[in-house]
Amino acid sequence: MNNETSLTINIRPARKEDANGMMCLIKELAEYEKAPEQVTVSIEHFVESGFGVRPVWWGLVAVAEEEGPEEIVGMALYYIRYSTWKGQRMYLEDIIVNHRWRGRGIGGMLMDELIQLAQEKKYNGITWQVLEWNQPAISFYEKYNAHFDKEWVNVSIDL
Protein backbone atom coordinates (compact mmCIF):
# COMPACT_ATOMS: atom_id res chain seq x y z
CA MET A 1 0.00 0.00 0.00
CA ASN A 2 1.33 3.42 -0.92
CA ASN A 3 0.59 5.64 2.10
CA GLU A 4 1.12 8.94 0.26
CA THR A 5 -1.74 8.48 -2.19
CA SER A 6 -3.65 5.50 -0.77
CA LEU A 7 -3.10 3.50 -3.94
CA THR A 8 -3.14 -0.25 -3.80
CA ILE A 9 -0.20 -2.08 -5.39
CA ASN A 10 -1.00 -5.53 -6.70
CA ILE A 11 1.48 -8.06 -8.05
CA ARG A 12 0.12 -10.32 -10.76
CA PRO A 13 1.35 -12.37 -13.73
CA ALA A 14 2.11 -10.29 -16.80
CA ARG A 15 -0.43 -10.37 -19.62
CA LYS A 16 -0.07 -9.61 -23.32
CA GLU A 17 -1.75 -6.24 -22.87
CA ASP A 18 1.02 -5.29 -20.39
CA ALA A 19 3.75 -5.53 -23.04
CA ASN A 20 3.89 -1.83 -23.92
CA GLY A 21 4.11 -0.81 -20.25
CA MET A 22 6.80 -3.42 -19.67
CA MET A 23 8.81 -2.14 -22.64
CA CYS A 24 8.62 1.38 -21.19
CA LEU A 25 10.17 0.07 -17.97
CA ILE A 26 12.86 -1.81 -19.91
CA LYS A 27 13.76 1.39 -21.77
CA GLU A 28 13.81 3.30 -18.49
CA LEU A 29 16.28 0.74 -17.08
CA ALA A 30 18.47 1.08 -20.18
CA GLU A 31 18.51 4.87 -19.69
CA TYR A 32 19.50 4.39 -16.03
CA GLU A 33 22.33 2.07 -17.10
CA LYS A 34 23.40 4.64 -19.74
CA ALA A 35 22.80 2.22 -22.60
CA PRO A 36 19.48 3.15 -24.26
CA GLU A 37 20.78 2.25 -27.72
CA GLN A 38 21.24 -1.35 -26.61
CA VAL A 39 17.49 -2.01 -26.40
CA THR A 40 16.98 -3.37 -29.91
CA VAL A 41 14.16 -5.87 -29.38
CA SER A 42 10.95 -5.01 -31.23
CA ILE A 43 7.63 -5.00 -29.41
CA GLU A 44 6.47 -7.78 -31.75
CA HIS A 45 9.40 -10.01 -30.82
CA PHE A 46 8.96 -9.18 -27.13
CA VAL A 47 5.26 -10.11 -27.25
CA GLU A 48 5.85 -13.33 -29.20
CA SER A 49 8.67 -14.37 -26.86
CA GLY A 50 6.57 -13.91 -23.73
CA PHE A 51 3.00 -14.50 -24.81
CA GLY A 52 3.26 -16.56 -27.99
CA VAL A 53 2.71 -20.27 -28.52
CA ARG A 54 6.06 -21.19 -26.90
CA PRO A 55 7.02 -18.49 -24.40
CA VAL A 56 10.65 -18.32 -23.37
CA TRP A 57 10.10 -15.82 -20.55
CA TRP A 58 7.47 -15.08 -17.94
CA GLY A 59 6.86 -12.00 -15.91
CA LEU A 60 5.18 -10.38 -12.97
CA VAL A 61 3.93 -6.82 -12.95
CA ALA A 62 3.33 -4.42 -10.09
CA VAL A 63 0.15 -2.52 -10.79
CA ALA A 64 -1.01 0.68 -9.11
CA GLU A 65 -4.76 0.56 -8.92
CA GLU A 66 -6.97 3.58 -8.58
CA GLU A 67 -9.97 4.85 -10.49
CA GLY A 68 -9.28 4.48 -14.16
CA PRO A 69 -6.85 2.22 -16.01
CA GLU A 70 -4.16 0.26 -14.20
CA GLU A 71 -0.65 1.68 -14.20
CA ILE A 72 2.29 -0.71 -14.42
CA VAL A 73 4.84 0.65 -11.96
CA GLY A 74 7.19 -2.33 -11.76
CA MET A 75 7.99 -5.67 -13.31
CA ALA A 76 10.10 -8.78 -12.97
CA LEU A 77 11.00 -10.86 -16.02
CA TYR A 78 12.38 -14.36 -15.62
CA TYR A 79 12.97 -17.62 -17.42
CA ILE A 80 14.02 -21.11 -16.41
CA ARG A 81 17.59 -22.27 -16.84
CA TYR A 82 18.95 -25.72 -16.25
CA SER A 83 22.08 -26.42 -14.25
CA THR A 84 23.67 -29.82 -14.82
CA TRP A 85 24.71 -29.70 -11.16
CA LYS A 86 21.58 -28.24 -9.56
CA GLY A 87 18.62 -28.81 -11.91
CA GLN A 88 16.01 -26.17 -12.70
CA ARG A 89 16.67 -22.65 -11.48
CA MET A 90 14.78 -19.44 -12.06
CA TYR A 91 16.87 -16.83 -13.85
CA LEU A 92 15.79 -13.29 -13.00
CA GLU A 93 16.56 -11.25 -16.10
CA ASP A 94 15.34 -7.94 -14.72
CA ILE A 95 13.46 -6.48 -11.83
CA ILE A 96 12.49 -2.88 -12.56
CA VAL A 97 10.50 -0.28 -10.65
CA ASN A 98 9.57 3.02 -12.25
CA HIS A 99 11.80 5.76 -10.84
CA ARG A 100 8.80 7.68 -9.44
CA TRP A 101 7.74 4.61 -7.45
CA ARG A 102 11.09 3.50 -6.00
CA GLY A 103 11.55 3.39 -2.24
CA ARG A 104 7.99 2.23 -1.57
CA GLY A 105 8.62 -1.51 -1.21
CA ILE A 106 7.50 -2.50 -4.70
CA GLY A 107 10.81 -4.18 -5.56
CA GLY A 108 10.50 -6.22 -2.37
CA MET A 109 6.94 -7.19 -3.26
CA LEU A 110 8.12 -8.41 -6.67
CA MET A 111 11.09 -10.28 -5.20
CA ASP A 112 8.98 -11.93 -2.50
CA GLU A 113 6.49 -13.08 -5.15
CA LEU A 114 9.33 -14.48 -7.30
CA ILE A 115 10.72 -16.42 -4.33
CA GLN A 116 7.29 -17.84 -3.54
CA LEU A 117 6.75 -18.79 -7.19
CA ALA A 118 10.15 -20.50 -7.38
CA GLN A 119 9.39 -22.46 -4.20
CA GLU A 120 5.96 -23.53 -5.49
CA LYS A 121 7.50 -24.77 -8.74
CA LYS A 122 10.25 -26.54 -6.77
CA TYR A 123 13.11 -24.72 -8.48
CA ASN A 124 16.29 -25.05 -6.46
CA GLY A 125 17.13 -21.35 -6.53
CA ILE A 126 17.09 -18.02 -8.29
CA THR A 127 20.08 -16.61 -10.17
CA TRP A 128 20.64 -13.14 -11.58
CA GLN A 129 23.28 -10.53 -12.36
CA VAL A 130 23.81 -7.04 -11.01
CA LEU A 131 26.18 -4.39 -12.31
CA GLU A 132 29.07 -3.85 -9.91
CA TRP A 133 28.45 -0.08 -9.78
CA ASN A 134 24.70 -0.37 -9.04
CA GLN A 135 24.93 0.06 -5.26
CA PRO A 136 21.17 0.58 -4.74
CA ALA A 137 20.48 -2.80 -6.39
CA ILE A 138 23.33 -4.50 -4.52
CA SER A 139 22.01 -3.17 -1.21
CA PHE A 140 18.51 -4.40 -2.12
CA TYR A 141 19.77 -7.92 -2.89
CA GLU A 142 21.90 -8.03 0.26
CA LYS A 143 18.66 -7.83 2.26
CA TYR A 144 17.83 -11.26 0.81
CA ASN A 145 21.19 -12.72 1.88
CA ALA A 146 22.10 -13.14 -1.78
CA HIS A 147 25.45 -14.76 -2.59
CA PHE A 148 27.64 -12.53 -4.78
CA ASP A 149 29.88 -14.82 -6.83
CA LYS A 150 33.27 -13.26 -7.70
CA GLU A 151 34.53 -16.42 -9.38
CA TRP A 152 32.49 -16.57 -12.60
CA VAL A 153 33.05 -14.26 -15.58
CA ASN A 154 30.18 -13.26 -17.89
CA VAL A 155 30.71 -14.47 -21.45
CA SER A 156 28.54 -13.97 -24.50
CA ILE A 157 28.50 -14.14 -28.28
CA ASP A 158 26.40 -11.65 -30.22
CA LEU A 159 24.89 -13.01 -33.43
- Reduced to 3 states, what is the DSSP secondary structure of residue 50? helix
Euclidean distance between the first and the last CA atom of the chain, given in angstroms as a whole number: 44
Q: What is the dihedral of CA 43, 45, 47, 51, to 10 degrees?
A: 180
86 neighbors 39 (Cβ within 8 angstroms): no
Measured N-to-C along each axis, helices 135-142 and 106-120 cross at an angle, to the nearest 10 degrees, of 50
DSSP assignments along 67-109, one per residue: SSS-EEEEEEEEEEEEETTTEEEEEEEEEEE-GGGTTSSHHHH
The active-site residue, picked from 82, 91, 141, 144, is: 141
CA dihedral 154, 142, 72, 14 (to 10 degrees): 60
Q: Is 141 a catalytic residue?
A: yes
Active site residues: 141
